[in-house]
Copies of this chain bind each other. A is one copy, B any other.
Amino acid sequence: MVRIAVLGCGRIGRMHAANIAAHPRAALGGVFDVHRPAAEEVASGLGVARFESAQDALASPDVDAVLIASSTPTHSDLLEAAVAAGKPVLCEKPIDLSLERVNLCAERIRGSALPIMLGFVRRFDPGHRAVAQAVRDGTIGELHQVAITSRDPGLAPVGYLKESGGIFRDMTIHDFDMARFVLGEEVATVSAVGSRLVEPQTMAELGDYDTVTVLLTTASGKQCVITNSRRATYGYDQRVEAFGSGGMAISENVRENNATFHGAGFTGRGTPLLDFFIERYAAAFAAEISAFVAAIEAGTAPEVGFEDGRLALVLAEAALASATEGRIVTVGEIG
């Protein structure tokens, strides 16, 4: 059993803690949160220890690895501390909102052979994964074009948005990673446009966008489009399409169940889309823990590593530059 401590007991941390507890080859090695009652609730609910500090968790001989689900500004410090303590890490995205800080972190952990995994959970979604697999195994021939649609069911609170780093670093970053995952080749150029259509005034005050489209290319000429919106009234819209010389694979949206309804006023209405990410990506979050456990057991590099986290942020920076400067940006300019 791999004993994993969870640092951060917010909504995502609690979900991870439960998944670890339910995993057949993992055990929850204790939890920590700066907000003590949050940690107490998880600790008592799942019957595990509560640590007084992240340092205590990292120092504990009963902890084999840590999962970092605390607030974004603490990620890179905790990641460095975990590596220093010799503990494998699964870190929620992003590593940090500052590329400079991420690059510094990269410097500091350079050379470590520990499994360091980034929480790009969508790579583990069965549908998206089937599309990526169809690219890898040649089912759709040589890849030519990728289209990623990713729309949130509703705008996050302004307080969240203020600290989010902006839509490219906060939301599109998942799609940048998905693009790299499906493309199987690094992105060379980025062309992005951003608009304020959902909440124009809020977005203007934040200096942020709520509606963006990004066009990526690779050196070999593969093309990828990412379409984002902060609010889709019909639910959490998550689709991935890959097109190649031999065909096309599409990961369609997922509904609560496969019931349909047909009436005078609703011809062929489907059950609502699964909403929100914890529900939509439930299987993916469980598979992510499995992948982390397997990497620790095998002592190998996880499927999604630190550099994947860094490169997604590089693309976010490139997209921001493209959208604000009105030009196509070469990724090499950024990082």
Contact = CB atoms under 8 A, between A and B. Distances in A.
Interface of A: 22, 24, 45, 125-127, 129-131, 134, 139-142, 144-145, 147, 149, 151, 189, 191, 193, 195-198, 211-213, 215, 217, 221-223, 225, 227, 229, 231-235, 237, 243, 245-264, 266-273, 326-328
Contacts of A256: 126
A223 B213 contact: yes
B268 A247 contact: no
B134 A229 contact: no
Contact of A191 (B141, B191, B229, B235): B191
Contact of A246 (B145, B233, B248): B233
B259 A247 contact: no
A149 to B, nearest CB: 8
A310 to B, nearest CB: 25
B232 A243 contact: yes
Contacts of A235: 262, 267
A273 B269 contact: no
18 contacts: A24-B45, A126-B256, A131-B259, A139-B263, A140-B261, A145-B227, A189-B193, A193-B217, A227-B243, A231-B245, A232-B248, A234-B247, A234-B262, A247-B263, A248-B261, A250-B262, A251-B258, A267-B270
User: Is chain A's interface secondary structure helix, strand, loop, or mixed overall?
Assistant: mixed
A268 to B, nearest CB: 3
A225 B213 contact: yes
